Amino acid sequence: MYRSGCPEQYRKKVQSLKAEGVKISEKEHLFSRRDLKKLLVPVIVEQLLTSLMGTADTMMVSNVGPAAISAVSLVDAINILVIQAFSALTAGGAIICAHYIGSKNIKAANYSARQLLLTVALLSAGIMALCLAFRVPLLRLIFGQVEPEVMRNSEIYFFYTAISFPFIALYDAGASIFRSQENTRLPMTVSILSNFMNIGGNAVLIWGFHMGVAGAAIPTLASRVFCAAAVLAFLRKKQYAVHVRGYFRIRPDLKVIRKILSLGIPSGIENSMFQLGKLAVQSTVSTLGTAAIAAQAMTNILENLNGIAGIGVGIGLMTVVGQCLGAGRKDEAVYYIKKLSLLAELLIIGSCLLILAAVRPVTLLGSMEAESARMCFAMVLAITIVKPLVWVPAFIPAYGMRAAGDVKFSMLLSCVSMWVFRVVLCVILCRKLGFGPMGVWIGMFVAWTVRCLVFAWRFHSRRWLSHAVIDP
């Protein structure tokens, strides 16, 4: 496959090959099927492993007691909020790097990578300091009047996980930089090793030394330190096109930092509002009784699992679109959004059917009460019917449009669809009209449908292609 960052260079290359008698398609793409496979498969695996880390802590601490389980679950709701914000911020920097790589300006890509690392290091250190200083009043503000034992365990678990925030941010930044240059295998490998560290550490400290929630938190912290250290160590190697050396010699460039933040902050707000909306929905479900709470909790886990492959495709799509637009190939960016959306659709259909088949065995293994299991199956069945119809156009093209710099539109639409159609409708259906936990998913389906229709209009209008991510 021939890669060219400039359409004129590509045209001349094609003419030269034709003059030599070489048969070549006029439409040779930046990414072959093999390139896409190498890019996407590790991202999907990494997303699956990332989702399992918090789940492993919850499952392995279950034998400590209900107070420990509750503490880990409650604190993870905060952690997910912070992690999603960091992930979105680092994606902003990765978009810039991908554009510069597409335009063959590797020097500017390296410089942007340095500024991204500095930005996330400073912001995450500040957030960590605030969380550590105010962790007790913060937990009491969010969780209200919980049992003293639950609060005590929450304070312990939050202390260690807050320390890990800078390491999460630095890993996300480093991993995003690698993804921007199509290297997704390395972050996946690091993620695999960190999961083994976390699970092994949990087993030793929880079951061997009986350290309770601290036994779950310390290995999580250690694994995140390892992730950051490993990614930053590899990022120093000159064998990679985009690499960073002399970390302590990086000085802030406000112009570049503003550009990174202009792309990252809207996406961070979007992700944070999404997580806050989930917490609001969770509070509504908590009023419906124990059976509904258990059914909704299990359904959430299963719905997250059947969407992981699609999200992995979306993350990979950001690299693809970024490089295409950096190379000046707008039509090719449109082509790949369509192509990878189709791939995501096939993966979502397969994932939904697989999860549906697993519902009854999972509820049996989890010893769920009959009523909870019945509600869980009904909700997963509804998800299996609706999700393949509207989820992909509601979410996957948006990744590509964000890579084009169209981040504010996505933020506004996501916030409106989340709070107006999902949260408000959920409250009405669950509390006023007696739909039970199914009301949550009806609200979700409406929100997905609204996103689907609006993003379809936005995509076909091509207005998302009008943004300038990097200087020409």
Q: Over the stretch 357-399, which tens digit does the pLDDT of each residue have?
A: 999 998 887 677 888 889 999 999 999 999 999 999 999 999 9
The pLDDT score that the predictor gives to residue 53 is 67
Q: What angle do CA 111, 117, 120 make, to 5 degrees?
A: 135
Helix and strand numbers, DSSP H then E, in the chain = 16, 0
Q: Examine residue 4 and state whether it is found in any structural domain, yes or no.
A: no
Amino acid in position 385:
I
283-287: average pLDDT:
78
Q: Which of 173, 169, 146 is nearest to 75 (CA)?
A: 146
Residue 12 has pLDDT above 60, yes or no: no
Rounded distance between C-alpha atoms, residue 276 and residue 78, angstroms: 9
Average pLDDT value over all residues in the chain = 88
Rounded distance between C-alpha atoms, residue 263 and residue 259, angstroms: 7
Structure tokens at 81: 């909020």
Rounded distance between C-alpha atoms, residue 422 and residue 418, angstroms: 5
Q: Examine residue 136 and state whether it is found in any structural domain, yes or no.
A: yes
My answer on whether 227 and 309 are in the same domain is no
My answer on whether 342 and 404 are in the same domain is yes
My answer on whether 368 and 229 are in the same domain is no
Highest-scoring range by mean pLDDT, 141-150, 323-332, 416-425? 323-332
Q: Examine residue 169 and state whether it is found in any structural domain, yes or no.
A: yes
Residues 193-246: tens digit of each pLDDT: 999 999 999 999 999 999 989 999 999 999 999 999 999 999 999 999 999 999
For residues 337, 340, 341, 345, the Cα torsion angle rounded to the nearest 10 degrees is 180
Domain residue limits at 338: 270-472
Tell me which H or E stretch contains 467: none
112-131: average pLDDT:
96
My answer on whether 215 and 362 are in the same domain is no
Rounded distance between C-alpha atoms, residue 38 and residue 180, angstroms: 13
Q: Among residues 252, 285, 312, which one ends one of the domains?
A: 252
Rounded distance between C-alpha atoms, residue 295 and residue 297, angstroms: 6
My answer on whether 191 and 337 are in the same domain is no
Q: Is 347 helix (H, G, I), strand (E, B) or coil?
A: helix
Kindly give, in sequence order, each residue whose CB lies less than 8 Å from that of residue 333, ignoring residues fewer than 6 positions away. Answer: 320, 321, 324, 325, 400, 403, 404, 465
Q: Examine residue 305 and state whether it is found in any structural domain, yes or no.
A: yes
Structurally, the chain folds into a number of domains equal to 2
Amino acid in position 362:
V
Q: Among residues 252, 283, 317, which one ends one of the domains?
A: 252
Q: Which of 191, 145, 161, 168 is nearest to 77 (CA)?
A: 161
My answer on whether 231 and 276 are in the same domain is no
Q: Examine residue 263 and state whether it is found in any structural domain, yes or no.
A: no
Residue 19 has pLDDT above 60, yes or no: no
The pLDDT score that the predictor gives to residue 5 is 40
Rounded distance between C-alpha atoms, residue 422 and residue 415, angstroms: 10
Q: Examine residue 96 and state whether it is found in any structural domain, yes or no.
A: yes
Q: Examine residue 347 and state whether it is found in any structural domain, yes or no.
A: yes
Q: Examine residue 167 and state whether it is found in any structural domain, yes or no.
A: yes
My answer on whether 300 and 236 are in the same domain is no
The pLDDT score that the predictor gives to residue 29 is 83
Burial 350-365 (b: 16+ CB within 10 A, else e): ebbeebbeebeebbee
Residue 167 has pLDDT above 80, yes or no: yes
